[in-house]
Amino acid sequence: MQPKHNLEKLEKTATKLRLHVVNMVAPSGQGYVQQGLGAADLFASLYFAEATLDPANPDWPDRDRIFLTTAHNTAILYATLAERGYFATDRLDAYVADGSPLEINASERMGAVVEATCGSLGQGLSVAVGSAVAAKRQNRASRVYAILGDGEMQEGNVWEAAMFAGSAGIDNLCLIADCNFVQCEGPMNRVMSLDPLMNKMESFGFACQEVDGNDIGALLGAYDIARTATGKPSFIKANTVMGKGVASLEGLMFHQLRFPPEVAESARAELEAQL
Amino acid sequence: MKATLTRLEAADFINRSFKPLPRAYGDALVAAARTDERIVTLCADLTFPTETEAFRDELPERFHNVGIAEANMIGMAGGMARSGEIPFCHSFSAFITKRVLDQITMQVAYPNLPVKLVGFLPGITTILGVSHQAIEDLAIMRAVPNIAIFEASGPEYHAAMVKLALDWDGPAYLRIKRPETAPPDFAHQTLEIGKGVLRRDGGDVAIIAAGLCVGESLRAAEQLAGEGIAARVVDMASIKPIDRDSILQSAAETGAIVTAENHGIIGGLGSAVAELLMDEGIGLPFKRVGVQDQFCEGGTTPYLMRKFGLDAPAIADAVRGVMKKKKG
């Protein structure tokens, strides 16, 4: 059987996205480098293979919806949107510049491609649930994806939304937790652990899978299974590694990394060598 | 391929790039806690940005990072305060007020408990954008009974914020903006409940300002002096209870008032001053400087102050306007 997607091409896309992340954050030092590098495979697989989107018509009513509820992870989001054709890649140069809509927290100043403004953590899943319910009532094929950070799942609002989705069996909803195990303070278990997260989500009525969030093939397989779930929302625990793809940054757990020029230069050289 | 760094080298560059900022508020809180056993500190995963890392490290048994869960933090603080403790709760201004308003109302304000709400990133002055901006927090908090509201105009008043919060026998909201770069050396200044600070005297017009707008007002007053306008500047650090006497005195002595705040013009300091003047039957040329009835965006502080009309030139323009009316 012919594989549905060209894995090698998607991996190359992820590397391109990583290079954008480095180039976008390097000039000002503002932006979440480690999280962007860690989530690049998730974004590449979702936006370039799994989701049904039309960059020429970002508000197409039958599109799949992707809610980035960890709205600060914008370097990777904007890089993805540009490479996917929503806007020209040279607009990435204005990342976090005064006056630019490419703000550090994604806002709907970007247009319909930002499904909701979510910088205040924990709110996005509710909006995703609402749009999934609406898509069902309107008989649309749209699937709704919500990308949450694991730290964000400490917000109570997340669990109210999850309880509703599970109770109502919203099966066009797929919640992806980008689990990099770090929050502002440091490793999550130093503050408040989510464990056992899989059991929690199962008990809330989700069809659950745990995958290596830096393995594009595994992510694609998980999306396939999620699409077949009936009567249950899906949960994918995607374990990601901060700084993935750049050997000098891989596994360094900085929530807010300063990005000294020496480090940016080294990261750029590493990624360019991979392309 | 160019030479690349090892992970150890990268981590070393990164660690050395962190530049420490003064921690006047955080250090004052630790000092107060050393003498008052009742003080405990809560934060919702913003330890460094709220200057509470020294408290965490020096008094760990009295420090709780509750995770990214602000509503739970306020409820917990209510329980602690009912048990005789004085909890200082920390987050950004947007989250420590708007996000948890109902918990504040029912578990803090109504029982009139000594829970101190400390909000960093007041107003519009953050790169983090609309989700992290607080342009309506003063309006909201002013409307809740029992809560006192204090705002620092600069790091020299940050230690005084702790004392004000403790002097107020009930819930208080502190609005504090951390300096973005290391400020010049400063001496700590004191503040009093219900008292503004006369920062510059002048008989033609009074600028009643709070927070970041105090410095801008002083710059505006300097510029206006060159045009022959003598503007006094009152730093209204005590927004609730407000300094009635100094406002009424300013009205009587200058006959024209401009207010300036890092907040929307609806419901904040400007509204508080206007309400007092109307209640006292005083009509005079008056203008509120603040964010107009609109949402903002993320950006650098000077850019935002300029764009949304909070900086010295905007304040000076407002003063020229009221002076024209006064003479007219």
B64 contacts: CB under 8 Å, gap ≥ 6? B40, B41, B42, B43, B76
Burial of B30 (0-12, 13-18, 19+ CB in 10 A): buried
Q: Which fold has domain B197-327?
A: Rossmann fold (3.40.50)
Query: Would you state the pLDDT for residue A2?
Result: 57
Q: How far is A107 from chain B (nearest CA, A)?
A: 8
- When CB atoms are compared, the residue of B4, B48, B297 closest to A248 is B4
Residue ranges making up the domain that contains A152: 7-274
Cβ B128–A155 below 8 Å, yes or no?
Answer: no
User: What homologous superfamily does CATH list for B21-176?
Assistant: Thiamin diphosphate (ThDP)-binding fold, Pyr/PP domains (3.40.50.970)
Cross-sheet strand order for the sheet of A173-179: A65-68, A144-149, A173-179, A234-239, A207-212
Query: Would you state the pLDDT for residue B270?
Result: 98
Total count of domains within chain A: 1
CA distances from B9 to A243, A247, B114 (A): 15, 11, 48
* Domain spans, chain B: 21-176, 197-327
Taking the C-alpha atoms of residue B253 and residue B250, their distance in angstroms, rounded to an integer, is 5
3-state secondary structure of A149: strand
B83 reaches A (C-beta below 8 A) = no
Tokens found for residue B203: 């008989």
Asked whether the beta carbons of B234 and B215 are under 8 A apart, the reply is no
Mutate to test the interface with B, among A121, A150, A153 (most CBs of B within 10 A): A121
Query: Would you state the pLDDT for residue B245?
Result: 98
3-state secondary structure of A93: helix
B45 reaches A (C-beta below 8 A) = yes
pLDDT single digits (tens) A97-126? 999 999 999 999 999 999 999 999 999 999
Query: Pairing state of beta strands A173-179 and A234-239?
Result: parallel
Number of H helices, E strands in chain B: 13, 12
Answer yes or no: is A186 within a domain: yes
Cβ B17–A260 below 8 Å, yes or no?
Answer: yes
- When CB atoms are compared, the residue of A151, A247, A252 closest to B11 is A252
pTM of the predicted model, to two decimals?
A: 0.95
The interface predicted TM-score of the complex, written ipTM, equals 0.93
Taking the C-alpha atoms of residue B172 and residue B73, their distance in angstroms, rounded to an integer, is 15
- When CB atoms are compared, the residue of B99, B131, B300 closest to A105 is B131
Answer yes or no: is A224 within a domain: yes
Which one has a higher pLDDT value, A174 or B17? Answer: A174
- When CB atoms are compared, the residue of B13, B45, B129 closest to A191 is B45
Query: Would you state the pLDDT for residue B17?
Result: 82
pLDDT single digits (tens) A220-233? 999 999 999 999 99
Cβ A266–B10 below 8 Å, yes or no?
Answer: yes
Q: How far is A199 from chain B (nearest CA, A)?
A: 20
- In chain A, which stretches have pLDDT less than 50? none
Q: How far is A267 from chain B (nearest CA, A)?
A: 7
Answer yes or no: is A260 within a domain: yes
Contacts of B133 in chain A (CB under 8 A): none
Q: How far is B282 from chain A (nearest CA, A)?
A: 41
pLDDT single digits (tens) B141-177? 999 999 999 999 999 999 999 999 999 999 999 999 9
pLDDT single digits (tens) B214-269? 999 999 999 999 999 999 999 999 999 999 999 999 999 999 999 999 999 999 99
Asked whether the beta carbons of A222 and A211 are under 8 A apart, the reply is yes
Query: Would you state the pLDDT for residue A3?
Result: 66
3-state secondary structure of A211: strand
- CATH number of the structural domain spanning residue A153: 3.40.50.970
Please indicate whether the domains covering B21-176 and B197-327 agree at the CATH topology level: yes
Mutate to test the interface with A, among B5, B50, B300 (most CBs of A within 10 A): B5
Answer yes or no: is A1 within a domain: no
The CB-side HSE value for B252 (13 A sphere, CA atoms) comes to: 7
Mutate to test the interface with A, among B16, B45, B101, B308 (most CBs of A within 10 A): B45
Query: Would you state the pLDDT for residue B143?
Result: 98
pLDDT single digits (tens) B26-83? 999 999 999 999 999 999 999 999 999 999 999 999 999 999 999 999 999 999 999 9
3-state secondary structure of A52: coil
Asked whether the beta carbons of A100 and A94 are under 8 A apart, the reply is yes
- When CB atoms are compared, the residue of A107, A191, A248 closest to B129 is A107
Cβ A247–B7 below 8 Å, yes or no?
Answer: yes
